[in-house]
Structure 1
Amino acid sequence: MKKQLLVLTLVLLLTTTVIAAARALAPIIIVVNGSPLETDVAPVLTQGRVLAPVRAIAEKLGAEVIWDGENNTVYINTITKDGELEEKDAEAEVTAVVETFGARLQMVSLLAPEDILAQSMEENYGDLVAPGLLEEWLREPAKAPGRQLSSPWPERIEINALEKTAPNRYQVRGEIIEVTSAEVAGGGIAARRPINLVVEKVGNSWLITAFTLGDYEEAGTIIYDNDEYGFRFTLPESWAGYTIVTEEWEGLNPEAPGEIAARGPIISIRHPRWTAERPRQDIPIMVFTHAQWEAMEQGAFHIGAAPIGPRELDRNGKYVFALPARYNFAFPEGYEEVEAILETNPLQANENYS
């Protein structure tokens, strides 16, 4: 009898344990207002408490959940119809601040004297940027956004994402769009630069409190191939539709004023937006034979009145390619863009050409 009682007790204990284990292994179901809730992370039972993802439950109940990573804080806010309108109004105000800031970037020349730069920043950024950040830019203009060249220049900020990271704080990701007069006339973009901003409500105003510039995105390029002389020239995509103008350089005999001692071609790459009424800076490429180049360097002839001669860009087995001295002496529109192009060593001679 005792054995039978012991066996029965063991069976009951084993059955209870199996049932408890089965219950523990069974998935926990969350039901909100009568509807089962699917979550990306399954709820778990730990030490008698159910741990469940708060975002899924709160949003199912119509609340707003914000994770503030900087302060390790989760904000849960109930949303009413009035709250939804306030949220949309806030996003519209933040967008307006960023877009206005983007439109004013071209007004602030970062190369201006310190006193003029300070005045320009105050006038154009003062109502959009928090005082602390503005003071930082004034101390270190290299960190400040603005206009670095006459062309291209920052035209606007395009917003790619706007995220609420805390009550009264938004993070904005976008791009500074730079253009030249060519893009203004015909459309397009000269350059893009990623940008991150933090916009916070300070008192009654939305102000930019943090700002980070990314690296320029690599723009597309086009290639001008010259088979006659054996070289190629890499151009920005904005030069698509360029034209080639061929003229002649003349080398004057220093011993006989007015006497032409040598001649050769000068090939100019002309911007597609060049017009007679509004000319732009060409990219001029002088072509010399090796013998002509050596003769010029030895003083057998000179080109123009400049005290310095052309600057070599590259050479192949037959020709030397050079940039005229003071080619941009008149500083026409677009000369800075051409300078920037030339800094990238865009001309490559065909070494096998002879």
Structure 2
Amino acid sequence: MKKLGSLFLILILCLPAAGCRAGFQQQNSSGQSVETRETAVRNLVTEFGKQLQNVSLTASKEKVAEDMQKYYGDYVTPSLLEEWQTDPSSAPGRTVSSPWPDRIAILSVQRLADDAYDVTGEIIEATSADESGGQPAGKKGIRLSVRNIGGLWLIDDVTVDQQTLLAAVVYENTQYGFTVSLPSSWKGYTVRTEDWQGYSLVPGQEGKITETGPEIFVRHPKWTKETPRQDIPILIFTLDQWNAIQKDQFHIGAAPIGPSELARNSKYVFALPARYNFAFLPGYEEVDTLIRGGAVKATEKFGGS
């Protein structure tokens, strides 16, 4: 009985440690779905991002090496870890007391093979003031190479840019005056335009189309008819139209809530359709991250399409 009790205690102590890595120990088998592999890669990068604040790159070399082993060891390959321990300046981590690297916001996940992915994102920096709901203190672009080695997802290469990778590709529209900043994986994007229709809510005119305007869709280059991906949809309103929809004079679509403003210039308001991503198409999380990160910005450059 005493031996059984000891064995039970050992199992209990081991479970948490095993659980920490369970999400990344994805076997590279032909029966595993693309979604499962991508989820494992995203989980790995997200969890790695939470560790960055724990490693002070300005500490003694011995302390940095010790902390890297403790906080990075489960997430990166031994060769990359050794490289960082030898030259901490090449590694991501904490360089000052404030701001500190708070997390990694994933912008895109690109599949190179069943066991190889490239991830583009941003290191979001924070201060104590940010924790109360303020804007991030800063951002740095980061690109990570993730591989499945012996059934374990590990990061085997990292590039950190002082300039964000968000603006690697930029769509500029000078007809209405706005830009959309995109990660490099969107190179080769396409753009299509449709018209939105506004249905009157004014008594006596209910249901009549009283307003129209353009809706521009920025489409990922991997979008196909067989496997569609989430577009970035942008509704364009004149200032008068936007004021009217805010006063419930008309509505767009069947959703009970209206569009949300993304940006505006002196002539137009750019807005996101309500429930635009409820189909949960591939890439919807990336599009949401881009939009929340301020990818759509207004300009005062007019004069073309």
Question: For the superposition of Structure 1 and Structure 2, which TM-score range results when normalised by the shorter chain?
Answer: 0.5 to 0.7
Instruction: Work out the percentage of aligned pairs sharing the same amino acid.
Output: 41
Unaligned runs of 5+ in 1: 1-114, 126-144, 150-154, 196-210
Q: AA paired with 2:189?
A: Y
- 1:289-324 Cα deviation digits (max 9, x unpaired): 111111111111011122221111111111111111
Closer, same or farther: CA 261–270 of 1 in aligned 2, 3 Å: same
- In the other structure, the counterpart of 2:209 is 260
Q: 1:282 Cα shift?
A: 0.3
Closer, same or farther: CA 119–250 of 1 in aligned 2, 3 Å: same
Q: 1:253 Cα shift?
A: 1.3
- 1:22-59 Cα deviation digits (max 9, x unpaired): xxxxxxxxxxxxxxxxxxxxxxxxxxxxxxxxxxxxxx
1:234 to 174, 181, 192: 181
- In the other structure, the counterpart of 1:332 is 281
| Structure with the larger RCO, 1 or 2 (CA within 8 Å, 6+ apart) | 2
Q: Any residues of structure 2 matched to 1:1-80 within 5 Å, and which?
A: none
Q: 1:237 Cα shift?
A: 1.1
- 1:157-200 Cα deviation digits (max 9, x unpaired): 5945746x9xxxx9998899996256559x983324679xxxxx
Distance 2:199 2:17 in 1: 47
1:121 to 8, 17, 21: 21
2:44 to 132, 140, 146: 146
Asked whether the 8 Å contact 1:159–1:174 carries over to 2, the reply is no
Distance 1:347 1:124 in 2: 33
Asked whether the 8 Å contact 2:198–2:212 carries over to 1, the reply is yes
Q: Any residues of structure 2 matched to 1:1-354 within 5 Å, and which?
A: 119=19, 121=21, 146=44, 148=46, 159-160=79-80, 162=82, 180-181=109-110, 189-191=118-120, 192=142, 217=161, 218-219=164-165, 221-254=168-201, 255=203, 256-351=205-300, 353=302
Q: AA paired with 1:229?
A: Y
Distance 1:236 1:270 in 2: 13
Equivalent residue of 1:329, what SS? coil
Asked whether the 8 Å contact 1:178–1:189 carries over to 2, the reply is no
Distance 2:263 2:299 in 1: 9
Closer, same or farther: CA 146–249 of 1 in aligned 2, 3 Å: same
Asked whether the 8 Å contact 1:182–1:273 carries over to 2, the reply is no
TM-score between both structures, scaled by the size of structure 1: 0.46
- 1:257-311 Cα deviation digits (max 9, x unpaired): 4411111000000000001111111000111111111111111101112222111
TM-score between both structures, scaled by the size of structure 2: 0.52
Distance 1:283 1:268 in 2: 5
Asked whether the 8 Å contact 1:287–1:321 carries over to 2, the reply is yes
Q: AA paired with 2:180?
A: F
Unaligned runs of 5+ in 2: 1-14, 26-42, 48-74, 93-103, 121-141, 146-154
**Cα RMSD over matched residues?**
4.3
Asked whether the 8 Å contact 2:108–2:183 carries over to 1, the reply is no
Asked whether the 8 Å contact 2:214–2:235 carries over to 1, the reply is yes
Distance 1:321 1:119 in 2: 44
Instruction: Give the paired residue count.
Output: 195
Q: 1:121 Cα shift?
A: 2.7
